[in-house]
Structure 1
């Protein structure tokens, strides 16, 4: 489970997570857990949301409602709340809240149940699936269970003084509860030199550094081209390398498996989600 969190100023965390999901080399669950309201479905998948292929009422809130009397998380119960992502068939979406007001319906216990389900999620065929989790901008409502249980927590930041300054207090608070080995940076819209400067300024390893690529960023943030990411775009090429490196850190691979996702596995997440 990889959780991404942002500081002030919308540094691009949601777009980065969407890029990683689109490039992930195996079935993956994309969970929009921003307590202020989700942006993945209204952004990257907006055309599919308008067309009715993605449902706004099926996701984090419906899972919390369905499991409100449960005492523990149940990964199997999560499947019925996961939806296919049409432009990326290996991705299953747990859609986010429609508005900040819905956050009160989740409760701390609801976030804890969801965290347990995400951490142990399996596809309908029984294969483990990684979870990429967006918790949005860090603040008082941030669901800490999704940070504390993550294998990696990434703070999204842009290579500008404004974003670096905004990241410092967030990093300091995260570091009080998350060990250094699990806390890193996702530097958005950057160059190699920019990523190096951010690392030096914040004293944290850069786990993901994605280049500025306005065309592809518009697909992932605004749903241009029906959310179909250009396969040869600089952003996707870099995201693919980052995704394989992150995935390979926790899974055993052969070199051939790293090059191309298995077609059968790529639809596995969606086989049950569409039922």
Structure 2
């Protein structure tokens, strides 16, 4: 489980996580867990929300409602609330809240059940799937259960003075409860020089470096080009390298196992397919 969170401003955490999911070399669950309301579905996937392919009422809130009488998070209950992403067949979406007021309906217990389910999530074919979790901007409503259970917590930051200064108190707060080995940076809309400056200013390792690429970023943030994933872009090339490196940190395969076979067009995360 990898979570991403940000301080003040809009450094690009949602765009980064969506791109990371597209570049992930295995089935992956993209969970929009921003308590203030998520942007993954209305942004990148807005076209499919409009035409009814993706439902915004099926996700975090529906899972919390369906499991409200459960005492623990059963991963088997989560699959019913995950939807396939049309433009990335190996990605499943757990849609986020549509308004800040819905956070009260989830509650601390709902976030805790969801955390347990995400940590042990499997596809309908029984294949384990990693979880990429977007927590939005840090606030009093941020579900700490998702931060504490994560294998990696990424703080999103841009190589600007304003974003670096906003990241410092957030990193300090996270460092009080999360061990240094699990805390890193996602530097967004950057250059190699910008990444070096952020690393030096914040004293943390950079786990994900997202090259500045306005056109590709607009696909993931606002659904431009009908949300179609760009086949060639500096952003996707850079994020794909980071995705493979992060995935390889926790999964070990032989060279033969890393060869992903061609899939029929109907393949989906929900049937265990990968891209």
Post-superposition CA distance 1:119-173 (Å, at most 9, x none): 0000111110000000000010001000000000000000000000000000000
Name the counterpart of 1:43. 43
Residue 76 of structure 1: aligned partner: 76
Q: Residue 39 of structure 1: SS of its match in structure 2?
A: coil
Whether 2:219 is the aligned partner of 1:223: answer no
Secondary structure in 2 aligned to 1:170? helix
**Partner secondary structure for residue 38 of structure 1:** coil
Tell me the residue number matched to 2:116: 116
Q: Would you say the 8 A contact 1:190–1:211 is kept in 2? A: yes
Deviations 1:75-117 (A, max 9, x none): 0100000001000010000000000010000111100000000
How far apart are residue 272 of structure 1 and its match?
A: 8.3
Matches within 5 A, 1:64-103: 64-103=64-103
Specify the SS of the correspondent of 1:135. strand
1:27–1:267 contact (8 Å) kept in structure 2: no
More deviation, 124-133/224-233: 224-233
Question: Considering only aligned residues, what root-mean-square deviation do their CA atoms show, in Å?
Answer: 1.6
Q: Where does residue 3 of structure 2 map in the other structure?
A: 3
Alpha-carbon separation, structure 2, partners of 1:219 and 1:169: 31
Kindly indicate whether residue 21 of structure 2 is the aligned counterpart of residue 21 of structure 1: yes
- Would the aligned equivalents of 1:63 and 1:81 in 2 still touch at CA under 8 Å? yes
Structure 2: unaligned runs, 5 residues or longer = none
- Counterpart secondary structure, 1:106: helix
Q: CA deviation at 1:224?
A: 1.2
Alignment of 1:90-239 (within 5 A): 90-239=90-239
User: Cα distance, 1:269 vs. partner?
Assistant: 2.0
State the aligned residue count.
Answer: 272
Is the 2:125–2:270 Cα contact (8 Å) retained in structure 1?
no
Aligned to 1:242: 242
Rounded to whole Å, the distance in 1 between the matches of 2:221 and 2:168 is 25
Residue 27 of structure 2 contacts residue 272 of structure 2 at CA under 8 Å; is this kept in 1? no
1:63 pairs with 2:63? yes
The residue aligned with 1:54 is: 54
Separation in 1, partners of 2:7, 2:174: 11
Q: Which shows bigger deviation, 264-273 or 120-129?
A: 264-273
| Other structure's SS at 1:91 match | strand
Give TM-score, length-normalised by structure 2.
0.96
Aligned mates of 1:89, 1:164 — CA distance in 2: 35
Aligned 8 A contact 1:124 1:268 in 2: no
Contact 1:61 1:97 in 2 (8 A): yes
Are 1:125 and 1:268, in contact at CA under 8 Å, matched by a contact in 2?
A: no
Could you tell me the TM-score, scaled by structure 1's length? 0.96
Matched, 1:12 2:21: no
Normalized per residue, the structure richer in helix is 1
The answer to whether the Cα contact below 8 Å between 1:23 and 1:243 also exists between their aligned partners in 2 is yes
